Structure 1
Amino acid sequence: MDQTTIDKGKTMAIISYITLIGTLVAYIMNNKEQNEFAKFHIGQALRAWLTGIVVSIIAAVLIVVTGIGLLSYLQYIGLILAVIGLMNAVNGKAEKIPLVGDIG
C-alpha cells in the first residue's frame, strides 16, 4: 500500500475504531472513496467490536452460572483489540489485530 493511500484513508481508519457507530460512519464515508487502507481498518474494527460483544455475552452467562465475578474482565477484550487496531491506524500500519484479524 502506498503512502498516499494511507494518508488519505487514515482519518476514516481512526474513526472506525471509535465505537461500533464509528465503524458504521467510517464504512459509509468510505463507500464513496473506496480507500484500501480505510477498508482494511474498518474490517478490523468490526471484528474487534463484534468479538467484544460476543465475549461479553459469554462472560455474562459464565458469571451467572459460576458466580465468578472476575470473569467480567473478559468484557475488555473487544476494547483492547480496538485499541491495538487504533494504534496501527494512527501509525499508518495495515497489520491485523491479534486473535480475530484473520476471521472472515
Structure 2
Amino acid sequence: MNRKTLSILSYITIIGWIIAFVKSKDLTPKSDLVTYHLKQGLGIFVVSFVVNILLSIVVFTVSSLYFLNYIGYAIFILWIFGIINAANEQKKPIPVIGKAFEDKFGFID
C-alpha cells in the first residue's frame, strides 16, 4: 500500500488503524505523512470513545440533556476533516483537537 492509502486507512475504524499501523512498519523510507495521520486517527478514536461514554452516562442520568448527543455529529465532522487531509496528503491537524495529538503516542514513531 502507498502512503496516501495508509493515511486514509488510519481513520477508517480501529481495525483500519491497526492495519495501517502494521503496514506502515514495512514502508521504506519511513513516511512522516502516515505517522502523522496515525497519531491523528488514534487521537480522534480516543476522543470519540471517551466523549461517547461520558455522554451516555450524562444522558442516562439526566434524560432532559438528550440534545448533548449532537456532539457526536461534531466528532463525525472532525473525522471527515481528517480523511480529507489524508486524501490530499496534507499534514494538517484535525480542527479543535488535532494539535493535542501531534506530539502524543510516541509508540507510533
TM-score after normalising by structure 2: 0.80
Consecutive unaligned residues in structure 2, runs of 5 or more: 105-109
Q: What code does the residue aligned with 1:74 have?
A: I
Checking the alignment, whether the CA contact within 8 Å between 1:10 and 1:90 is kept in structure 2 is yes
Identity %: 29
Task: Provide the alpha-carbon RMSD of the alignment.
Answer: 1.4
CA distance in 1, matches of 2:22, 2:78: 22
Checking the alignment, whether the CA contact within 8 Å between 1:52 and 1:76 is kept in structure 2 is no
User: Are 2:6 and 1:9 aligned?
Assistant: no
Equivalence for 1:40: 36
Structure with greater helix share of residues: 1
Consecutive unaligned residues in structure 1, runs of 5 or more: 1-7
TM-score after normalising by structure 1: 0.84
Greater RCO, CA 8 A, separation 6+: 2
Runs of 4+ in structure 1 off by over 3 angstroms are none
Tell me the number of residue pairs that the alignment of Structure 1 and Structure 2 aligns: 97
Question: Which of the residues 16, 27, 52 maps onto 1:22?
Answer: 16
